[in-house]
């Protein structure tokens, strides 16, 4: 038996990480020809976007897919990033688990240093061809170009050819790789992936050239580059026992308080002392000699001691305004009826890693009514195209009772049906994927709970909109009936009693008791003619603020009667609507020039008035910069200086129409 053991021992040997993934490429997302093509584009695009944003540059990408034979395609991805220095090019593209992000707790698309080098490896496995990489940095006159493959036995790049060439770019990187794949359209396609990228990265411009050859351009919706993320230390909440002991073993200090203060975020010297006191661990305890019992007591104490929430500058959430912009920019052809104000939750922690959940809902318009709602899943601004059923995002959506929010859902569980698109974005310093292919979020209770809470918060806004739409429809019918029947009754009654027709405006107002706001933007002669009409069907005069998202520099000043109270960021415009008497009507009109028909979409809100008494518009969303409240006086009226009330004159073109009756 001993000889057999020795013989078996001879067969034991180490394999390199690249050799492992070469034999198990399905783990990385190369398990079918269709998926391999999308995965290759995904990994190269992620690499380019991270490089551009790390340098604070507005990304501009070219993605080209060419068919070389029946099953072979050439993928080219080119960016305008900072470029890569020559000595690092081969390592970045030809070495697995090589990168700068694995040990960094900051939000990034790439996390492990596998993606783009795995594409190079898959290409050489399936086609036998080397990848061509070209990179130029701004302080060099020429670009460095090389052809390389990955030596899977050594996990090292093997450069086949290298040269210096002239490239008409100031800086940037390009990779060209031949792979075996299958190009298709539909929901799981390169086009849909790039469309998803454009939605959650509205600052990116992407030019996609498919095998058919006709370019498709996703224009950027904003020039605002996401703020750079800052690497942080792990937050103490959620840290595992073994991880704590491992960190303590390699501590650079001899005091447990100094260890806690230096290795974790949000633990000051005072908080470290409180944790040790609660755990019964001496303040002078050497962390290298921490026992299992002491480590467990420290973790228990962390749950009891009040510790600040994690820092948020390590994360780069999209934000409510840009989610709306991204959705409208890419999904505008659907002509949706309603874009629910997106929800961005406060940061939470799992296993020491901060995360933020964001949700947006699009409803109505050209979205199919009879099919399940479309789910758009994203993690760290990257679309998740596969394994929808295994994803915590999908499971959270299935757990919400959507019947309460106006969507059909059989049994109150499962994916709802209706004309809606649900967007969920998870931003984290470390997204817990179910596999290395990064296509589904693992079922982490803390994350799943946050997603459900965000979904419900956004769904409530959808329900409010649907209720308001239904109420407006019923009110309009009521108004038409009142306007038609009451005058007829009054006329007949006056005729019977032989008296003149009475004025009915006050009577109609008492019956209606709402402020009705109608708005429209007709496109005529290359102009948007915007008209907002406000009817005061309440028994008292009304004062409030009217807010519009409109490019103020595109408004023809000759057509603008009422000057705005405030303009913020060039497109958040606030008007002070004053003293609309009971039964009066107020009109605000102006022309917008220089925009195409599709470029402008009415966004109208009100503040300073009871939302329940307004029909036709929503109250001001939470992501609007509420600094305007200080200017308008809604926060502190006593701070408004004398004389401000006389700055606006309704007679300068803003038309107040007295009800004729």
Q: Which two tokens stand for residue 117?
A: 């080098």
SS3 of 275, please? Answer: helix
Q: How far apart are CA 510 and CA 538, in angstroms?
A: 6
Q: How far apart are CA 521 and CA 518, in angstroms?
A: 11
- Measured between its terminal Cα atoms, the distance across the chain in Å is 109
Mean pLDDT of 492-498: 85
Mean pLDDT of 559-578: 89
Of the two residues 438 and 255, the one the predictor is more confident about is 255
Instruction: Supply the mean pLDDT for the chain.
Output: 84
Of the two residues 567 and 642, the one the predictor is more confident about is 567
- Residues of the chain with pLDDT > 70, as a percent, come to 87
pLDDT tens digits for 157-213? 889 999 999 998 999 999 999 999 899 888 889 999 999 999 999 999 999 999 998
> What per-residue confidence (pLDDT) applies to 410?
82
pLDDT higher than 50, residue 309: yes
Lowest mean pLDDT among 101-115, 339-353, 427-441: 101-115
CA R_g for the chain: 31
Residue 653: exposed, middle, or buried by beta-carbon count in 10 A (0-12, 13-18, 19+)?
Answer: middle
> What per-residue confidence (pLDDT) applies to 333?
78
> What per-residue confidence (pLDDT) applies to 658?
37
Of the two residues 451 and 582, the one the predictor is more confident about is 451
pLDDT tens digits for 126-166? 898 999 999 999 999 999 999 998 888 888 888 999 999 99
DSSP character string of 453-503:
HHHHHHHHHHHHHHHHHHHHHHHHHHHHHHHHHHHHHHHHHHHHHT-PPPP
Structural domains present in the chain: 17-218 (3.30.565.10), 241-304 (1.10.8.50), 320-465 (3.30.230.10), 510-658 (2.60.40.10)
Q: How far apart are CA 512 and CA 278, in angstroms?
A: 63
> What per-residue confidence (pLDDT) applies to 341?
82
pLDDT higher than 80, residue 597: no
> What per-residue confidence (pLDDT) applies to 654?
38
Q: How far apart are CA 433 and CA 450, in angstroms?
A: 16
CA angle at 398 for the pair 392 and 404, rounded to the nearest 5°: 135
pLDDT tier at 636, thresholds 50, 70, 90: very low
CB 355 within 8 A of CB 428: yes
Element (H, E) at 574: strand 572-580
Highest mean pLDDT, choosing among 279-288, 427-436, 595-604, 610-619: 279-288
Mean pLDDT of 298-302: 92
Residue 125: exposed, middle, or buried by beta-carbon count in 10 A (0-12, 13-18, 19+)?
Answer: middle
CA distances from 191 to 22, 73, 80, 272, 478 (A): 28, 16, 21, 51, 47
3 state SS for 597-627? CCCCCCCEEEECCCHHHEECCEECCCCCCCC
pLDDT higher than 50, residue 450: yes
> What per-residue confidence (pLDDT) applies to 655?
38
> What per-residue confidence (pLDDT) applies to 281?
92
Mean pLDDT of 595-618: 79
Q: How far apart are CA 471 and CA 477, in angstroms?
A: 10
> What per-residue confidence (pLDDT) applies to 238?
73
Which letter does DSSP use for residue 306 in this model? -
The pTM for the full model equals 0.75
pLDDT tens digits for 360-406? 999 998 898 889 999 999 999 999 988 899 999 999 999 999 999 99
> What per-residue confidence (pLDDT) applies to 641?
36
Mean pLDDT of 538-564: 90
pLDDT tier at 466, thresholds 50, 70, 90: confident
Of the two residues 86 and 508, the one the predictor is more confident about is 86
Strand order in the sheet with 572-580: 566-568, 572-580, 542-549, 604-607, 618-619
CA distances from 254 to 30, 75, 536 (A): 48, 54, 73
- Residues of the chain with pLDDT > 90, as a percent, come to 40
Q: How far apart are CA 14 and CA 499, in angstroms?
A: 106
User: Beta strand pairing status for 353-363 and 348-350?
Assistant: antiparallel
> What per-residue confidence (pLDDT) applies to 482?
76
User: Beta strand pairing status for 382-383 and 374-379?
Assistant: antiparallel
pLDDT tier at 447, thresholds 50, 70, 90: very high
Long-range contacts, 276-282 (Cβ 8 Å, 24+): 276/301, 278/304, 278/305, 281/256, 282/256
Q: Which two tokens stand for residue 657?
A: 């129409």
pLDDT tens digits for 65-114? 999 888 899 999 999 999 999 999 988 888 876 654 545 677 777 655 46
Mean pLDDT of 408-436: 90
Mean pLDDT of 44-68: 92
Mean pLDDT of 422-426: 95
pLDDT tier at 574, thresholds 50, 70, 90: very high
pLDDT tier at 1, thresholds 50, 70, 90: low
Highest mean pLDDT, choosing among 165-174, 301-310, 512-521: 165-174
Highest mean pLDDT, choosing among 235-239, 263-267, 350-354, 468-472: 263-267
């Amino acid at each position: 038996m001993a000889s057999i053991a020795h013989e078996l021992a001879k067969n034991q040997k180490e394999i390199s990480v690249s050799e492992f993934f070469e034999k198990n490429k399905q783990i990385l997302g190369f398990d079918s020809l269709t998926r391999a093509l999308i995965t290759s584009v995904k990994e190269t695009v992620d690499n380019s976007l991270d490089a551009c944003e790390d340098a604070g540059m507005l990304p501009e990408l070219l993605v080209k897919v060419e068919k070389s034979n029946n099953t072979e395609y050439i993928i080219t991805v080119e960016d305008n990033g900072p470029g890569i220095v020559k000595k690092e090019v081969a390592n970045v593209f030809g070495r697995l688990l090589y990168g700068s992000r694995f040990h960094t707790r900051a939000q990034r698309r790439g996390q492990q240093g596998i993606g783009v080098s795995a594409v190079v490896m898959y290409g050489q496995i399936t086609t036998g061809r080397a990848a061509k990489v070209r990179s130029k940095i701004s302080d060099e006159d020429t670009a460095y170009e090389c052809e390389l493959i990955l030596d899977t036995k050594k996990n090292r790049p093997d450069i086949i050819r290298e040269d210096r060439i002239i490239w008409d770019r100031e800086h940037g990187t390009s990779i060209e790789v031949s792979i075996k794949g299958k190009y298709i359209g539909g929901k799981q396609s390169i086009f849909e992936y790039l469309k998803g990228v454009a939605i959650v990265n509205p600052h990116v411009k992407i030019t996609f050239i498919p095998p058919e050859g006709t370019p498709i351009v996703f224009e950027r919706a904003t020039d605002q580059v996401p703020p750079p993320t800052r690497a942080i230390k792990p937050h103490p909440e959620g840290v595992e026992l073994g991880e704590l002991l491992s960190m303590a073993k390699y501590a650079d200090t001899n005091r447990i308080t100094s260890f806690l203060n230096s290795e974790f975020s949000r633990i000051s010297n005072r908080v470290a002392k409180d944790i040790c006191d609660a755990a019964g661990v001496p303040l002078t305890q050497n962390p290298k000699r921490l026992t299992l019992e002491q480590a467990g007591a420290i973790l228990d104490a962390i749950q009891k001691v009040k510790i600040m929430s994690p820092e948020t500058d390590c994360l780069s959430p999209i934000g409510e305004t840009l989610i709306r912009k991204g959705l409208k920019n890419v999904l505008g052809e659907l002509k949706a009826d309603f874009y629910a104000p997106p929800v961005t939750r406060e940061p939470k922690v799992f296993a020491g890693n901060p995360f933020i959940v964001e949700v947006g809902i699009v409803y109505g318009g050209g979205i199919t009514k009879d099919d399940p709602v479309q789910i758009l899943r994203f993690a760290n601004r990257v679309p998740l195209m596969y394994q929808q059923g295994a994803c915590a995002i999908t499971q959270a959506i299935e757990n919400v009772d959507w019947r309460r929010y106006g969507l059909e859902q059989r049994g109150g569980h499962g994916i709802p049906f209706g004309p809606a698109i649900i967007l969920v974005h998870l931003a984290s310093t470390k997204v817990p994927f179910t596999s290395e292919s990064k296509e589904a979020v693992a079922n982490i209770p803390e994350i799943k709970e946050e997603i459900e809470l965000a979904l419900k918060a956004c769904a409530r806004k959808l329900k409010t909109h649907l209720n308001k739409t239904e109420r407006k429809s019923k009110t309009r019918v009521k108004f038409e009936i009142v306007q038609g029947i009451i005058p007829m009754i009054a006329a007949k009654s006056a005729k019977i009693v032989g008296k003149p027709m009475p004025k009915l405006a006050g009577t109609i107002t008492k019956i209606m008791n709402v402020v009705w706001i109608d708005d429209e933007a007709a496109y005529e002669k290359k102009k948007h003619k915007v008209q907002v009409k406000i009817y005061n069907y309440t028994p008292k005069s009304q004062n409030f603020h009217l807010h519009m998202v409109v490019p103020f520099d595109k408004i023809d000043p000759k057509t603008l009667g009422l000057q705005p109270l405030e303009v913020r960021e060039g497109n958040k415009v606030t008007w002070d609507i004053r003293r609309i008497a009971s039964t009066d009507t107020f009109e605000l009109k102006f022309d917008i020039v220089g925009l195409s028909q599709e470029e402008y979409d009415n966004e109208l809100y009100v503040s300073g008035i009871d939302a329940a008494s307004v029909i036709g518009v929503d109250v001001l969303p939470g992501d609007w910069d509420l600094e305007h409240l200080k200017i308008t006086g809604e926060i502190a009226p006593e701070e408004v200086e004398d004389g401000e009330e006389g700055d606006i004159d309704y007679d300068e073109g803003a038309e107040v129409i007295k009800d004729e009756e």
